[in-house]
Each structure stands twice: as structure tokens, then as C-alpha cells.
């Protein structure tokens, strides 16, 4: 079977390329080729699996006979549930199982080719920047970190200033802050490339960090730098950073 024999990957980039190829095939099966996929999943047949192949194609087939299999196997018997559910719900269920299978195959390769901690982390970050198959099938694909930053940057430039979030819980969520803009317009391009910096420690934005924006000065801060946790932030309607809070007391 091509899905089992084909991929021989040794670097993070090669494993990610294999992941993207299989993912593209699965997306085709559950979107543009969905009617063909539906027809192939006859409940009267034996246990069937949906395979995504590295060349961006897909196939419905019986599971491999060898035990243990050379690669992790997709969900078994997807055809049996086809007529017992709404078609949309069944497709979504297959999508969720397909996402899980893709992750298991990618990290199987990671283990097989001796990926260390940093390589596994980089592989996961590359995978996590893509919307899941379920999100695409359900019509709610997530934005990657880069897309969020670029969107905020464009919004900032078109409005002549930083985008102001109307809902405080959006500011207090774990997300990519907008690119930093200084008073010196000559540095705008350089700042956009470097990204936002914490108003307290001056460090650049890093992935998987909680940030919060001050409603007064509109600067972004690491939650840990201003001693605000995500749980605490949910109860703050209008957040003011330590500097703005101090200035208000002095003026009073």
C-alpha cells in the first residue's frame, strides 16, 4: 500500500512535508471529493480506513494485515457509522480521527528518526500553525500566529494607530499582540519585523505566552511581568498597567 511504503523522512522539514501531503489528501476526501468518499464507505463492506497519502491523494481501504503495522493505522471501521449519523456529523467525526492519525504518523517518524526535544517542538509548531482538518470541514479554520500578527499590523497602518480592542477579554487572552509601533516613524518597518515587545521587560513576543494589553497606554505586557494570570484577567473589565495606575494616583 502506497500510504505505508512511500515516506522515508529524516529531517523535520521532510516529516512536515509528508504531513502536509497526507493532510491535503484527507482534506480532498472530506471536501471536494466527499461524494466519492461517501460512496466508497459502504457499511456492508468490511472494516474500512481512510488513508491520506504523501502525494496529496487519498484512498479508502482495508487495514494492513501485518501486526504491528509499519505505520500507525487510521480509525478502523469508519464505514459502519456512515448511515447511523447525519452526513455532516459523520464527516466531522472522520475529520477528527484523521487529525489524530496525522499527528501519530508525524511523531512516529519523529521517534523513528531520533528527533530530540527541540526538533519535536519545532515539528509540532509547524503542524500547529495549520488549521486542523476538522476546522476546515466544520468551516471554522483557525488563524496561524503569523496571520494574526499580519492582520493586526495591516489594521494598525490603515487606521493610523494601534488597533483598539473593544472587548477586554480579547485583550486578556493568550494571543499574538500587534506589532510594536514607536513614535519614530522611520523605525516602523524594522519594528514590524521584530514584532511586539513587552512594555515591562522589553523582550519580544514568544509563542504560547500569555499577554495582556493596557487599556490606557495600549502597550502589551507578559502576564508574568505584571503579575496577571489568564484566570485573573477574565475578571478585569479595564486593565491598567502598573505605570498607568501609578500616574493616575500621582495626578490625583
Q: Indicate if the pLDDT at residue 33 is higher than 80.
A: yes
86 within 8 A of 73, measured Cβ to Cβ: no
Place of cell 507578559: 222
Q: Report the distance separating Cα 238 and Cα 220, nearest Å.
A: 14
Q: Which of 43-57, 195-209, 222-236 has the lowest mean pLDDT?
A: 195-209
Q: What is the largest CA-CA distance in the chain?
A: 78
Q: Which of 78, 43, 44, 58 is nearest to 3 (CA)?
A: 58
| Confidence (pLDDT) at 142 | 54
Q: Report the distance separating Cα 174 and Cα 55, nearest Å.
A: 36
* Verdict on whether the full-model pTM lies above 0.75: no
* Beta-bridge mates of residue 220: 213
Domains in the chain, CATH or no CATH each: 12-138 (no CATH), 198-251 (3.30.40.10)
Q: How confident is the model at residue 21 (pLDDT cuts 50, 70, 90)?
A: very high
| Confidence (pLDDT) at 60 | 96
- Per-residue pLDDT tens digits for 92-141: 999 999 999 999 999 999 999 999 999 999 999 999 999 999 999 988 65
Q: Which of 107-111, 181-185, 204-208 has the lowest mean pLDDT?
A: 181-185
Amino acid at each position: 500500500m502506497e500510504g505505508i511504503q512511500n515516506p522515508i523522512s529524516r529531517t523535520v522539514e521532510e516529516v512536515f512535508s509528508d504531513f502536509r501531503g497526507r493532510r491535503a489528501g484527507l482534506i480532498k476526501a472530506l471536501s471536494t471529493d466527499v461524494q466519492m468518499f461517501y460512496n466508497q464507505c459502504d457499511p456492508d463492506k468490511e472494516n474500512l480506513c481512510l488513508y491520506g497519502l504523501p502525494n496529496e491523494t487519498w484512498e479508502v481501504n482495508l487495514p494492513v494485515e501485518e501486526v504491528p503495522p509499519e505505520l500507525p493505522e487510521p480509525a478502523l471501521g469508519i464505514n459502519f457509522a456512515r448511515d447511523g449519523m447525519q452526513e455532516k456529523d459523520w464527516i466531522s467525526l472522520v475529520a477528527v480521527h484523521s487529525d489524530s492519525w496525522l499527528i501519530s504518523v508525524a511523531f512516529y517518524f519523529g521517534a523513528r528518526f531520533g528527533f530530540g526535544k527541540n526538533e519535536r517542538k519545532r515539528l509540532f509548531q509547524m503542524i500547529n500553525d495549520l488549521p486542523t482538518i476538522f476546522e476546515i470541514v466544520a468551516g471554522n479554520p483557525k488563524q496561524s500566529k503569523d496571520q494574526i500578527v499580519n492582520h493586526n499590523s495591516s489594521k494598525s497602518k490603515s487606521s493610523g494607530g494601534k488597533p483598539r480592542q473593544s472587548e477586554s477579554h480579547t485583550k486578556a487572552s493568550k494571543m499574538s499582540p500587534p506589532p510594536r509601533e514607536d513614535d519614530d516613524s522611520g523605525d516602523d518597518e524594522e519594528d514590524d519585523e521584530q514584532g511586539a515587545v513587552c512594555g515591562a521587560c522589553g523582550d519580544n513576543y514568544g509563542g504560547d505566552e500569555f499577554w495582556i494589553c493596557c487599556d490606557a497606554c495600549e502597550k502589551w505586557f507578559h502576564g508574568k511581568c505584571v503579575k496577571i494570570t489568564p484566570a485573573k484577567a477574565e475578571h478585569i473589565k479595564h486593565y491598567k498597567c502598573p505605570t498607568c495606575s501609578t500616574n493616575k494616583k500621582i495626578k490625583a
